[in-house]
Amino acid sequence: MVTAAISQDSSFNEGDDERSLRSGGRRRRGDEASFEALPDSVPPQNLEAEEAVLGGILLDPDAIGRVADVLQPEAFYLGAHREIYRTALMLHSQGKPTDLTAMCAWLADTGQLEKVGGSGRLMELVERTLSTAAIDQVARLVMDKFLRRQLIKSGNEVIQLGFDQSKPMEMVLDEAEQKIFAISQEKPSVGLTPTAEILTSTFNEIESRSLGTAVAGIPVNFYDLDAITQGLQRSDLIIVAGRPAMGKTSIVLNIAKNVAQLHQLPVCVFSLEMSKEQLTYRLLSMEVGIESGRLRTGRLQQEEWPLLGQGINSLGQLPLFIDDKPNSGSLCRRLMAEQGKELGLIVIDYLQ
């Protein structure tokens, strides 16, 4: 997704410190994260997967490197498990081993060993672990349960927002959307990627461009501009600057229309200067080649009416969306959900 801007100048806390031991298959009340769910319901969790991850880290010196980018300490349901994993991450970041001996020594030196169940508990985790071959997948199981708990937590917060009648409904809806959307951003990253995998796609791109069949980003159908920029690049913020009445809005509307028309990518246009009706007149003028002033007054020649109908039909089929209110964040998230794919371009007219 590219952003182009025009410029003129509760109830659930994963980090609660209330912990006790889980040993010999028994879990004491208070060891799990504080949680408010449905009555008599058990929060999503997979303690066996948590134990398998921790046992693998204690057993295999290389295991921590395979899950560090996938799993965060808060994802563990039990407080003792969070503390063990947090310690392993800390030792790993310092280049120190995370085996059973090293972990027991560090936890003992810092007074944490008994809080996580003692050396016997750590040894039990190792003894229960047969292999670390699938530790990556097991870590994702732990993260999956964590995200489900986060969803329930956000749901509780949204319920409270619904009861808060001191806030305008627009603000309530925006906050609710942000809470749910934030969960999707907590998905585990892919971690390190071997250079060999990246080189394959890189070679294909180079070969394609050498034949003149592709640019690096999204072409905007302005050939000189595409030659310089290699198209719009993902995550770029592009500022179109200039003095008033120099055609800034016209050029970005042309780009927005081309991206939506040629690539069928959803495009959002937010304007704080012109109404959505004014922008639509401009888009229609570009599409049919009729001066926008004549469109507004309806002074059309007889042969221009069919062109107008064709232009309206063509623009109406584009994934192009316009809004003239300053609530771009929530609308973009909603549009992404409705379209089922990332936005190709966001245009903001204007910044100051």
- Superfamily the domain 41-184 falls into: DNAb Helicase; Chain A (1.10.860.10)
CB atoms within 10 A of CB 30: 11
Q: What is the pLDDT of residue 2?
A: 62
Residue 163 makes CB contacts below 8 A (sequence gap 6+) with: none
Contact, 343 vs 265, CB < 8 A? yes
Tell me the CA end-to-end span of the chain in Å, nearest whole number. 22
Tens of pLDDT along the chain (352 residues) come to: 666 665 554 444 444 433 343 444 444 444 555 555 566 678 899 999 999 999 999 998 889 988 888 898 999 999 999 999 999 999 998 989 999 999 999 999 999 999 999 999 999 999 988 888 889 899 999 999 999 999 999 999 999 999 999 988 988 888 888 888 788 766 655 555 678 777 887 787 777 767 665 667 888 888 888 888 888 887 788 888 888 888 888 888 999 999 998 888 888 888 877 888 888 899 999 899 988 888 888 888 888 899 999 989 999 999 988 887 766 666 666 666 666 667 778 777 766 5
pLDDT at 24: 42
Burial class of residue 292 in the structure, from the number of CB atoms within 10 Å of its CB (0-12 exposed, 13-18 middle, 19+ buried): middle
Order of strands, edge to edge, in the sheet holding 267-271?
237-241, 2-7, 345-351, 267-271, 320-323
Report the amino acid identity of residue 1. Answer: M
- CA 73 → CA 25, 48, 88, 122, 154, distances in Å? 21, 16, 10, 17, 19
Say how many residues make up the chain.
352
Q: Would you state the pLDDT for residue 329?
A: 60
| Burial classification of residue 86, based on how many CB atoms lie within 10 Å of its CB (0-12 exposed, 13-18 middle, 19 or more buried) | middle
Give the domain 236-351 fold.
Rossmann fold (3.40.50)
CA distance 260 to 159: 37
What HEC string does the chain produce?
CEEEEEECCCCCECCCCCCCCEECCEECCCCECECCCCCCCCCCCCHHHHHHHHHHHHHCCCHHHHHCCCCCHHHCCEHHHHHHHHHHHHHHHCCCCCCHHHHHHHHHHCCCCHHHCHHHHHHHHHHCCCCCCCHHHHHHHHHHHHHHHHHHHHHHHHHHHHHCCCCCHHHHHHHHHHHHHHHHCCCCCCCCCCHHHHHHHHHHHHHHHHCCCCCCCECCCCHHHHHHHCCECCCCEEEEECCCCCCHHHHHHHHHHHHHHHHCCCEEEEECCCCHHHHHHHHHHHHHCCCHHHHHHCCCCCCHHHHHHHHHHHHHCCCEEEECCCCHHHHHHHHHHHHCCCCCEEEEEEEC
| Per-residue pLDDT, 182 | 80
Q: Which residues pair with 268 in a beta bridge?
A: 321, 346
How many whole angstroms separate alpha carbon 238 and alpha carbon 246? Answer: 17
Q: Which amino acid is at 233?
A: Q
* Domain locations along the chain: 41-184, 236-351
With beta carbons less than 8 A apart as the criterion, state whether 249 and 6 touch: yes
Nearest to 153 by CA among 123, 127, 128, 183: 183
- Pick from 63, 93, 70, 66: which is nearest to 190 by CA? 70
Residue 217 contacts residue 228 (beta carbons within 8 Å): no
